[in-house]
């Protein structure tokens, strides 16, 4: 990344998405310096503006913390696509954009008059990111996509929870977030390809695809080894001891992922590293319940803080389970640029979770430092309309559309 503006400086992203998957992708591109213009429905705007509590601000100008989580570094314009003038504004934005993001159900963009073919006819250099719940085609391609439903359908919940009869969702909408991350990754790849070919194209992903895409070793357990993974709480299915273990007044997490670590662990806590039932990782996995009892008995005399010190001294990877207030007060989090201070137009100073990437040149860290607070509804509408109206030939080019609709 060169300079303070970011690697995508000069790139215009038209964000027609709502809720989380598409907005998260747009926010990632904005974090890299792109100009992201968020199109919202008049009146209520993005669905997440109403998702709460918690809400912040005065009753007549309140903002949801959910919306604030996925819309930094964006401008907002409200457009009613039943109105010809607003459709012309959107057409102008399409012509001026490098990227368009949408996460409607399959067929909605076509009914609005903005099929992928039509968009590329208007702007052959446009990169279109389209995110759905279960894919754009296939026998269930038209299903609505909601994160928890997708977590269940994609098998993630079957592997998460205290046991096979206790399926649990991940504590964040991980399908939405992952599809947004994969989508942004695809957009950057398509922009690189466009630099060579001059042509845009369509990038597609889905909540289902993103969640299956992160099955990792659990996926190959099924496809290669023929084993169906099941939830088993806070312990690793293939490594032991690896998980959450109780101690006096609390718990710690450890990862003993090699023979050398196992030997050091046993030496520190007075265990027999060569005991027959624990002599290899495979045996420790097979005898996990017994191993947990042995380890927790060794940990029982220690408070968590003292136990973590013992583990650190032995070189055993370990940690505690922090609450989010502890996470955001942690100096290590601050040191990684994971907190942003921004000025919101109605709420004033805000602290937001920051982007997870940092870029370095030959000497110093180089990051995009122009972060802006999420916009209020239509905050930039007048300025964007004026910009589009000033485009050369703006009045002459009025494309025909298949049908009208509302975002």
Cα separation of 116 and 114, whole Å? 6
Beta strands in 41-126 (DSSP E): 55-56, 63-64, 74-78, 99-102
CA angle 331, 336, 337 (to 5 degrees): 100
Taking the alpha carbons of 209, 210, 212, 213 in that order, is the dihedral positive or negative?
A: positive
306 is catalytic: no
Q: In a 3-state reduction of DSSP, which class is residue 132?
A: strand
Given the residues 176, 306, 331, 363, the one annotated as active site: 176
Among residues 73, 2, 55, 60, which one has the least CA distance to residue 352?
Answer: 73
CA angle 190, 191, 193 (to 5 degrees): 65
Whose structure tokens read 């009613």? 80
Torsion angle in degrees (nearest 10) through CA of 26, 27, 29, 33 = 130
Compute the chain's Rg from CA coordinates.
Answer: 25
Among residues 338, 356, 260, which one has the least CA distance to residue 24?
Answer: 356
Write b or e for each residue in 146-174: b if 16 or more Cβ atoms lie within 10 A of its Cβ, otherwise e: ebebbbebbbbbbbbbeeeeebebeeebb
Whose structure tokens read 């609709």? 405
Bridge partners, 360 (sequence order): 365
Catalytically annotated residues: 176
């Amino acid at each position: 990344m060169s300079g303070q503006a970011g690697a995508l400086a000069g790139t215009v992203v038209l964000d027609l998405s709502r809720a989380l998957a598409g907005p998260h992708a747009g926010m990632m591109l904005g974090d890299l310096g792109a100009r992201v213009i968020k199109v919202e429905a008049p009146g209520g705007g993005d669905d997440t503006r109403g998702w709460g509590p918690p809400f912040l601000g005065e009753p007549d100008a309140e903002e949801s913390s959910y919306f604030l989580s996925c819309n930094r570094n964006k401008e907002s314009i409200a457009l009613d696509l039943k109105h010809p003038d607003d459709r012309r504004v959107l057409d102008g934005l399409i012509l001026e954009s490098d990227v368009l993001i949408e996460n409607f159900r399959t067929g909605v963009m076509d009914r609005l008059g903005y099929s992928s073919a039509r968009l590329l006819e208007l702007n052959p250099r446009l990169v279109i990111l389209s995110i759905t719940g279960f894919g754009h085609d296939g026998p269930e391609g038209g299903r609505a996509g909601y994160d928890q439903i997708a977590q269940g359908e994609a098998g993630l919940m079957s592997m998460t929870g205290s046991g096979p009869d206790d399926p649990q969702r991940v504590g964040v909408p991980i399908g939405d977030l992952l599809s947004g991350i994969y989508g942004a990754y695809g957009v950057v790849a398509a922009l690189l390809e466009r630099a060579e070919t001059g042509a845009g194209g369509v990038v597609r992903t889905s909540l289902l695809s993103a969640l299956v895409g992160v099955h990792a070793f659990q996926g190959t357990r099924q496809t290669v080894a023929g084993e169906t993974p099941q939830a088993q709480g806070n312990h690793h299915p293939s490594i032991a001891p690896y998980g959450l273990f109780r101690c006096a007044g609390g718990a710690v997490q450890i990862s003993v992922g090699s023979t050398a670590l196992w030997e050091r662990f046993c030496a520190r806590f007075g265990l027999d590293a060569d005991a027959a039932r624990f002599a290899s990782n495979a045996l420790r996995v097979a005898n996990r319940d017994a191993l947990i009892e042995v380890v927790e008995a060794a940990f029982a005399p220690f408070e968590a803080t003292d136990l973590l010190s013992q583990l650190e001294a032995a070189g055993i990877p370990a940690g505690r389970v922090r609450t989010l207030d502890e996470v955001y007060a942690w100096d290590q989090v601050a040191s990684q640029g994971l907190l942003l201070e921004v000025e919101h137009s109605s709420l004033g100073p805000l602290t937001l979770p920051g982007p997870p990437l940092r870029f370095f040149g030959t000497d110093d860290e180089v990051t995009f430092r122009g972060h802006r607070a999420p916009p209020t509804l239509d905050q930039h509408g007048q300025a964007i309309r004026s910009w589009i109206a000033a485009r050369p030939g703006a009045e002459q080019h009025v494309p025909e559309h298949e049908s009208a609709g509302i975002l």
